Amino acid sequence: MSGSVAEISVQRRASVPREEARKPKPVEGKDGGDSKELREKILSRLKIVGRLVLSVLFEFLKLNGQALYLLGKDILELAIPPKEKSLRGSLVLITGSGQNLGRELSLQLSQHGARLVLWDFNEDQNEETAKMIRDGGGEAHAFTCDVSDQRVVASVAAKVREEIGHPEIVINNAGTYCYKPFLTHSPEEISRLVSVNLLGNLWVTREFLGNMIDLGRGHIVSVSSILGYMGRNYVVPYCASKFGVKGMTEALAEEVRKSGKGQNICVTAVHPFLISNVSDVKPNLKFPSLFEVLTPTEAARRIIRGIRRNQEELFLPEKLKPLMMMSKVLPRSLRRLFGDYMEY
């Protein structure tokens, strides 16, 4: 009996280590190691986020600093205009030179010493402009050209390059205008408006831009309109063509700038409100001094001044610029409200 009790006692003592052996032994310092690793991960991520926030903040401040500099420069130029480049000896090609604004531009450019290449589809009027320049002691070469026809433009451009040389300044002034309800425009009238006002700019620019890029200097000027910024009734095809000219000049300026070869190539868009030779439009404005109607002579003088200053965008009158800039960010309902308010 006593032997059996002793055996049971021995078995119990032997079974205790076996049960304890089955229990998993705690790993010393495991909880502390996990916490340390977690803290390191959190700190690493916070550092990454912190660097990202600082980088974004730096870029934001840098961008705003550049924006303030350019805005300040633009405002300063209103008080202290930039130096005007000389046009003496420059070969300038101008389209639509036979009358009105084109003729005035040609005559005044000649007075600045420029050599003129005159393009117009009306041969007699164009020759008259050339004669006026020559009589004043200037140099003028007249060519008959319909800028809406790409093949004619290419042919006349080749003749200019061969006989006279490569123009340093090209002024796309040729244009046509029609004021009446959209549905009363014939398909031929619409096609003519778009072909002359928009495609003519593209065909002429395409012929002479390449040499400017090769030389690393030159100037492209396109006469658009305030109606290339805002649409109005009775001039639907005209507005479409002038919006296209505005888009063309903006896109071309960016393409030249990003090519890396256009530091000294300027692209200028001219936006006149109304020139007095347009006889079939009589605006009824509450503030006529703000929306100044210019004569061709005065408009030409201001355009040439803008060309000499390498202005990329020129409004006539100049006081319209802030209004047009604001119109780009206003909703259409507000643009209509202000537009209706300005008219009787």
- Tokens 């393009």 belong to 119
Amino acid letter at 223? Answer: V
Q: What angle do helix axes 200-215 and 150-163 make, rounded to 10 degrees?
A: 30
Strands 115-120 and 140-144 turn out to be: parallel
Lay out the sheet containing 218-223: strands in order across.
Answer: 140-144, 115-120, 91-95, 169-172, 218-223, 265-272, 313-316
Whole-number Cα distances in Å, 281 to 4, 274, 275: 129, 9, 10
Residues acting as catalytic residues: 238
Q: Is 314 exposed, middle or buried (0-12, 13-18, 19+ CB in 10 A)?
A: buried
Separation of alpha carbons 137 and 246, rounded Å: 35
Separation of alpha carbons 120 and 122, rounded Å: 5
